[in-house]
Amino acid sequence: MAVNLDKPQQWKADVAKSVDMYNDWFMRFAPQAFRTSRVKATIDVEAALRASGNLTDIKPALLRKHPGILPTLRMATCPPLAVDRLIGLASVSPSMVKRMEEEQKLPVRMSVEAVDAELIKIGTIIEKMADPDIFIWLGRGNPATKVEIHRAATIVADRLCGAVANPIIRNAQEKRQLQVIKTWLEARGYRQLAAGEGTKFNAMPPGTFSFRLNVPVKLEGGVKSVKIPIDAVIMPKSAKPRAFPLFFEAKSAGDFTNTNKRRKEEAVKMAQLRSTYGAAVRFNLFLCGYFDSGYLGYEAAEGIDWVWEHRIDDLALFGI
């Protein structure tokens, strides 16, 4: 039975309430989430500065030992360098730079000499473009003081966090959403499965739930299998033997543009789940924020239902 997808007459009012709820959360808690990330980033940047001789010794040995330092170095230049801009300026391998950025590792199929040659070019660009207004000790005779290093680290950390501000906020919001679901379920006698229990999604006891559970699905053609993460998996108390649990994705958004860019993600998951397990799969959304009628209509057309966080008691309508 549909809960919200078949009630377009309610969508406009729900969108307005959801936007208000998100904005209220953002004003009260997002700055703290950002500040917490910035404090950690400052500590990491200070460590990176120490390792690089306060940006005076960016040699292959440093980048080989600490490949994950590259994002910090990119934010230490004037102007800060995007990944593709660094690749172009240094004329280095895109795959190597992106592996350093995304996996904090160096290529395993390149020779030591070839890797070092690329790292020399990266270091040369960073040293040449290091921001003299931040790293005021560069080019002078006196070494950097603790105050100068901390100030520079704070500025670079601010740049790092600014570049990933949306993921920081989105992760904080998702964590909060899952806690809301957990509180609601436990108040009704549900039990969260411990990570060590090793229970598969299709063998969960009635009255249990789990977060960020990997569910195997078959890709197109049915030959290759992959695991896709599901934010919340709930087995209703009334579930019969061999029943499928309910799947929920926690979704939040601070503007309407991004939601319409991302709306196909849920449809792809739904298609993968149904092609693997059949029409009995119940895949739904837990929404808070900027989700307009265009987004809702797209999901409804895919057979995806949802619960608004400001009306979380609608979870009961799913048989939970």
Tens digits of pLDDT across the chain (320 residues): 799 999 999 999 999 999 999 999 888 887 887 888 888 889 989 999 999 889 888 999 999 999 999 999 999 999 999 999 999 999 999 999 999 998 999 998 889 999 999 999 999 999 999 999 899 999 888 889 999 999 999 999 988 887 777 777 888 889 999 999 999 999 999 999 987 666 778 788 999 999 998 888 887 666 778 888 999 999 999 988 888 899 999 999 888 877 777 778 888 888 889 888 888 889 999 999 999 998 999 999 999 999 999 999 999 999 99
DSSP codes of every residue in 48-92 = HHHHTTTTT---HHHHHH-GGGHHHHHTTBSSPPPHHHHHHHHT-
Distance CA 286, CA 307 (A): 5
DSSP codes of every residue in 153-177 = HHHHHHHHHHHTHHHHHHHHHHHHH
Residue 241 and residue 273 in contact, taking contact as beta carbons nearer than 8 Å: no
The segment(s) of the chain belonging to CATH 3.40.1350.10 are 8-30+166-318
Distance CA 24, CA 22 (A): 5
Name residue, tokens 């307009």.
Answer: 292
* DSSP character at residue 245: P
Beta strand pairing status for 208-218 and 282-289?
Answer: unpaired
Which tokens in the block code for residue 119? 């790292």
Residues 197-214 as b or e (16 or more Cβ within 10 Å = b): eebebeebeebbbbbebe
For residue 84, the Cα-to-chain-centroid distance in whole angstroms is 21
Residue 267 and residue 302 in contact, taking contact as beta carbons nearer than 8 Å: yes
Residue 152 and residue 257 in contact, taking contact as beta carbons nearer than 8 Å: no
pLDDT of residue 275: 86
Please list the helix, strand and coil fractions of the chain in percent, rounded to the nearest 5, in that order: 55, 15, 30
pLDDT of residue 222: 63
pLDDT of residue 95: 92
Distance CA 246, CA 273 (A): 12
- Helices 8-51, 293-301: axis angle to 10 degrees equals 100
Q: Which helix (H) or strand (E) holds 44?
A: helix 8-51
pLDDT of residue 198: 64
Q: Does domain 8-30+166-318 have CATH number 3.40.1350.10?
A: yes
Which residues have C-beta within 8 Å of that of residue 110, sequence separation ≥ 6? 93, 96, 118
